[in-house]
Chain A
């Protein structure tokens, strides 16, 4: 098989509405990311590198300017910026590779994964821009410096985006293993109690107030809760909000964000989003819950990418964490929180996939 030299792709497309950290990193420290990309280029013997940046963001110009400032990049391999349309699945690695290859930013069937056949059919390393920033820091300061913070299983730090019901939302760098409550306090503390926290963005998991008090932010610590740090988006849901209404809004948006390629995702997400809206509006029947669980089982693991699995994880955790809300909606119809505006951002969906 003809393969040719490798390609390095830095993924800064960040289609997750509750995450800002990639945009912040690319805006504040573009050269750190470029340092890491250059290291990776050398390590895998790549002949070209691509940085994917979300369309319509300031980071696009800043990264392009940073590349132009770097004589050392020019001397080694060409580095170019690719503008990624604002879609949730556009950041999936096969979707990003497909876009770079001139196609739509939609996931493709695996195998082959990009490391087997990626950009221009060449072996392609795809990593998040934050990973490249870490690489550059580790080379500068050494592995023991990196491991001095964090836990044994999850060393170092991570960028997280804290939003929702906190006094000072924003991006912060946290030491892995830090208690979630410490991070919420660092974001100014809760503004109206805590009904739950969404960990890992719309692809993530709701956890309830007890777990919010005890959870530590590392993947090893979160695993028993069925959660993970994911993209680092942390959304605090205030006590008076309705977790089910928020989840129904997000699932409705996710159903619209499907790439439209896989039947179980196209039909399944629309079905669960509709049933969740029925539940929130007090229109649900006695079989709605059973149907939601049945559909969750039929959606999981059946897409070409993991997008539908993320929606299912969000749905199941909502039904578990907000189980009291579920019973009360089934008995008494819509709650006072249901009509309130969304605490989870719902961006307008972009029409184009290129």
Chain B
């Protein structure tokens, strides 16, 4: 049973500070107004530390890592 993680964004809470995109450009780009566009691809092990950093950096706690067991 492999464990994968995906990023989930609460777009209502998000206010577009954009720190997450700096910390995880591999999965997060900003739109023309500075709000994050999240690549739904799973986060592999090499990206996990960066993904955790992006989640931790969000000042409004709008970003989280969701664990999928499959």
Contacts and interface: CB of A to CB of B under 8 A. Distances in A.
Given A263-B16, A302-B37, A295 B32 contact: yes
A75 interface: no
Given A264-B11, A264-B31, A303-B11, 20 more contacts: A109-B11, A261-B11, A261-B12, A262-B11, A262-B14, A263-B15, A263-B16, A263-B31, A263-B33, A263-B34, A263-B35, A264-B33, A267-B35, A268-B31, A271-B33, A294-B32, A298-B32, A302-B11, A302-B31, A304-B11
Interface string A252-288: 0000000001111001100100000000000000000
A210 B31 CA distance: 37
Contacts of B39: none
Contacts of A303: 11
B10 interface: yes
Majority DSSP secondary structure for residues of B touching A = loop
A264 B35 contact: yes
B38 to A, nearest CB: 9
B11 A263 contact: yes
Interface string A286-304: 0000000011001000111
Contacts of A268: 31, 33
Interface in A143-183: none
B17 to A, nearest CB: 11
Interface of A: 108-109, 261-264, 267-268, 271, 294-295, 298, 302-304
B37 A263 contact: no
Q: Which 3 A-B pairs have the closest CB atoms?
A: A267-B33, A263-B35, A298-B31
Contacts of B10: 109
Nearest to B29: A298
Contacts of A302: 11, 31, 35, 37
A298 B33 CA distance: 10
B68 to A, nearest CB: 14
Contacts of B14: 262-263
A262 B13 CA distance: 8
Contact of B37 (A108, A109, A295, A298): A298
Nearest to B31: A298
Nearest to A259: B12
Nearest to B38: A302
A267 B15 CA distance: 12
29 contacts: A109-B10, A109-B11, A261-B11, A261-B12, A262-B11, A262-B12, A262-B14, A263-B11, A263-B15, A263-B16, A263-B31, A263-B33, A263-B35, A264-B35, A267-B32, A267-B33, A267-B35, A268-B31, A268-B33, A271-B32, A294-B32, A295-B32, A298-B31, A298-B37, A302-B11, A302-B35, A302-B37, A303-B11, A304-B11
B7 to A, nearest CB: 14
Nearest to B34: A263
A294 B32 CA distance: 9
A271 B35 CA distance: 14
A309 to B, nearest CB: 13
A350 B16 CA distance: 27
